[in-house]
Amino acid sequence: MIDILLMILTGIGVALFGFVLQTSIAGVNRKVVARVQKRYGPKWYQEFLDIFKLLSKRSVTHGWIFDFGVIMALGGIIGTAMFMPLTSSFMAFDGYDNFFIFVYLIAVGMLGMAMSASGSGNPLASIGVMRALTTMLAYEVPFMIVVLTIIKITGTSSLSEIGLFQQVAGNSWFFIALPIGGIVAVMALMGMLGKKPFETYIAPAEIASGPMVEYGGKQLGMLFIMHEITVFIEVSLFVHLFLGGAENIVLFIVKYFVVYTALNIISSVYGRFKIDQVVLFFYKWPLIMAITQAFIAIYLGWVI
């Protein structure tokens, strides 16, 4: 009994750590992007100020589906983050860090957000949700092919075991061992995070920030927290699957920071695709590359 309580507390601690880490790194990244654009940039803790300001504001509601969806989204995402291993040996629920757990649980949060956005009754929110689901459909297919290739090679779907497999094999990360698949994963990750070329479902100038169009005050603050934890989950997945996990927490933070900053720098020089361009793009080159990589790695056995 005490064990389970302790595990749950550790899990909440992991989620909180993820929130603080991602929010700080997002603040630093706003400064990085500002320097790319020859600006000075905000303070590094600006993201914290934004979130706490939103929580301090008054807000209106558009019915209980609207409020309940926000809580469901935040709760679902915190529940998902509780299972995330930080290093290859430290995790809240030992043995439950299966890749598919994340795939399924992250959908709870996303569905909560979609439900709440539709509950607001704004047509732009519905368009945004529809675009988000379409983008998801596009990037999931090549990403899943690459991840299944990794699972076939390692023979396990546990994140920490995959990380350990790469460390035991002499630090041959899958990002290097499966170079084509690594590139596909970077592109899919940009789609997951909604970074610039695939920013279609946010599109502030086009559909007024999509699903978030009717949120203000406390609900928007909770959605921001949810977004930060979602980014934490997705980038951590990439670190564990492709960059050899992490032996200790410092290495994890360094790898995390490098991945997120690189994505932001790539994203800061791009414009935005249209939604049909996103789908066509993901179904063309990343899909071909992913299938090629799977064929090379599984049937020919060419893994560096």
Q: Which residues bind other proteins (CB under 8 A)?
A: 30, 34, 37-43, 46, 49-50, 52-53, 56-60, 204-205, 208-209, 212-217, 220
Distance CA 184, CA 139 (A): 9
Q: In this complex, which beta carbon is closest to other proteins, that of residue 39 or of residue 274? A: 39
98 — phi, psi (to 5°)?
Answer: -70, 145
Least distance (Å) between residue 132 CB and other proteins = 16
Residue with tokens 């977004």: 227
Q: Which residues contact 252 (CB under 8 A, 6 or more apart)?
A: 86, 87, 236, 239, 246
Least distance (Å) between residue 41 CB and other proteins = 6
Least distance (Å) between residue 216 CB and other proteins = 3
Q: In this complex, which beta carbon is closest to other proteins, that of residue 46 or of residue 87? A: 46
Distance CA 283, CA 217 (A): 38
Least distance (Å) between residue 208 CB and other proteins = 4
116 touches 138 (CB < 8 A): no
Least distance (Å) between residue 62 CB and other proteins = 10
Q: In this complex, which beta carbon is closest to other proteins, that of residue 161 or of residue 228? A: 228
245 touches 173 (CB < 8 A): no
Q: In this complex, which beta carbon is closest to other proteins, that of residue 53 or of residue 152? A: 53
Q: In this complex, which beta carbon is closest to other proteins, that of residue 220 or of residue 297? A: 220
Cα 107 to Cα 39, 59, 146, 149: the distances in Å are 37, 26, 20, 22
Least distance (Å) between residue 267 CB and other proteins = 17
Q: In this complex, which beta carbon is closest to other proteins, that of residue 46 or of residue 98? A: 46
Single-letter amino acid, residue 273: F
Q: Which long-range contacts (CB under 8 A, 24 or more apart) does 93-102 make?
A: 93/7, 93/11, 95/158, 97/158, 97/159, 97/160, 98/157, 98/158, 98/159, 99/147, 99/151, 99/157, 99/158, 99/159, 99/162, 99/237, 99/241, 100/157, 102/159, 102/233, 102/237
Least distance (Å) between residue 219 CB and other proteins = 9
Q: In this complex, which beta carbon is closest to other proteins, that of residue 16 or of residue 60? A: 60
Distance CA 78, CA 75 (A): 5
